[in-house]
A and B are shown apart, each in its own frame.
Chain A
Amino acid sequence: MKSLLIWLFPLLAGSVLAFWFLTRPDLIRISELPDHIPDFANGERIFHAGGCASCHGVDLAGGLELKTAFGTFRVPNISPDLQEGIGAWSTLEFVNAMMRGVSPDGVHYYPAFPYASYTRMDLRDVIDLKARLDAFEPTDSRIGAHEIGFPWNLRRGIGLWKMRYLDPDLVTNGGSVDVLIKTGRYLVEGPGHCAECHTPRDRFGGLDRTRWMAGGPSPDGEGRVPNITPHPDGLAGWTEKDIAYFLESGFTPDFDLVGGTMVEVQENIAKLEASDRAAIAAYLKSIQALPDPHD
């Protein structure tokens, strides 16, 4: 019995230490921030590309409830209020929240906040975005805590999730050097976070990259998010112009009008320059064609 304990204790202590070490927040350091004067107009562009207002509200006051299989998430107040919002955050704290999913006090955010996409963003764009958010009116609405069941309420474990799913590299490194496709890839895989709905998830809630943009279950529960790869099950029948026009107007090629959660996304993307919509369209036509799942 005693000898068993002698073995068990270091094993247990070792496991705890390993877990603690592996799940520690990985942060961007101040020395990595570029010397950059915020570009307000570009911040506005990134704000719309990311659709921040769709979840956080037009006044950024938060409060929306996202009911998921893991529990209920409450969207936080990101207005510049010093107490309830993020007005007291430094640029570095904002960058680490956006690109590493870590709060200013060093806690992992749940990936319901799509930092697994934002991690691919250009640091300058994130700095520009902060300048845009800082220009909003502060709102002091207090948002309640998430209601998440065990074991998902142990946030430290999100560190393990990040080891597997948080990857700042672009997903489709198809080698294309076409400037339009590159811009589209950045907008879609980074700030636009399109894959968060258009790519299905595995059982740990991470994106299944082998099914990139091939559609998935609807976040509303009913219906499906469409396949937007260039496959006949997806956008094969759409030209790049069709895709860009859809993002501008909401009209599909057969003049159906957009619905569901895509309505807000489309209306945000409509506020970008036409060249950005053309870039998104070019990218979507460049990715691997995948069929719908056979069910």
Chain B
Amino acid sequence: MVRLLLKFSVLPMLLTLTPVVAGEPPQLERHELMEGVRDAAKPIAKMSKGELEFDAAVVMASFQTWSEAAKVFGDMFPQGSETGYDTEARETIWSDREGFNAKLTSFDEAVDAAIAANPLDLEGLNAAAGPVFKACKACHEGYRVEDED
């Protein structure tokens, strides 16, 4: 009976709990977060390219995605997650954490400024998003491993 209970109640419960308790490896977690940031950049880049109609609501949704990401991204690089899962994190994140944090802060600030600017046309969007993209690149420059895929 105990066995049965284990089999039919505890075990499935444990199985469903496992992902929540152990969590995803940080290498994958941060990768997915960055993919979300990238997906949020997509409509904005397309608007400034002229491939998509300007839409203030879509723009603000993207800004919010970036803002949320900026708040948690810095916690996703614990000791022990330097390698594995094809991570593109560069060792400089650990050897120069202050520099990395400064880049992240400047990203967060650029996003806050973009939200405050609340762009209502394409010109305003370009002015608001430009500094954000600049902050992205500045961090990719020194803290991401450039690989071909």
Contact = CB atoms under 8 A, between A and B. Distances in A.
Interface of A: 215, 218, 220, 222-227, 233, 245, 249-251, 254-264, 266-267, 292
A263 B136 CA distance: 10
B141 A226 contact: no
Closest 5 CB pairs of A and B: A259-B140, A260-B146, A223-B145, A263-B141, A223-B146
Contact of A257 (B91, B133, B147, B148): B133
Contacts, number: 60
B148 A233 contact: yes
A258 B38 contact: no
B138 interface: yes
B45 A263 contact: no
Contacts of A262: 146
Given A251-B45, A263-B140, 13 more contacts: A218-B146, A223-B145, A233-B148, A249-B45, A255-B39, A255-B41, A256-B38, A257-B38, A257-B41, A257-B137, A257-B140, A266-B137, A292-B148
B136 A257 contact: yes
Majority secondary structure, A binding face: loop
Given A222-B90, A260-B141, A255 B147 contact: no
Contacts of B49: 245
B42 interface: yes
A225 B146 contact: yes
A263 B148 contact: no
Contacts of A218: 146
A222 B148 CA distance: 12
A220 B38 CA distance: 24
A93 B146 CA distance: 38
A264 B141 contact: yes
B17 to A, nearest CB: 35
B31 interface: no
Contact of B144 (A224, A225, A249, A260): A260
Contacts of A256: 38
Contacts of B45: 249, 251, 255
18 contacts: A222-B91, A223-B88, A223-B147, A224-B146, A224-B148, A226-B146, A250-B133, A251-B45, A255-B42, A257-B137, A258-B140, A259-B146, A260-B144, A260-B146, A263-B138, A266-B137, A267-B137, A292-B148
Contacts of A261: 141
Contacts of A249: 45, 133
Contacts of B145: 222-223, 260
Contact of A226 (B42, B138, B148): B148
A184 to B, nearest CB: 22
A225 B137 CA distance: 17
Interface in B16-42: 38-39, 41-42
A250 to B, nearest CB: 6
Contacts of A292: 148
A267 B144 CA distance: 18
A223 B147 CA distance: 5
Nearest to B49: A245
Nearest to A258: B137
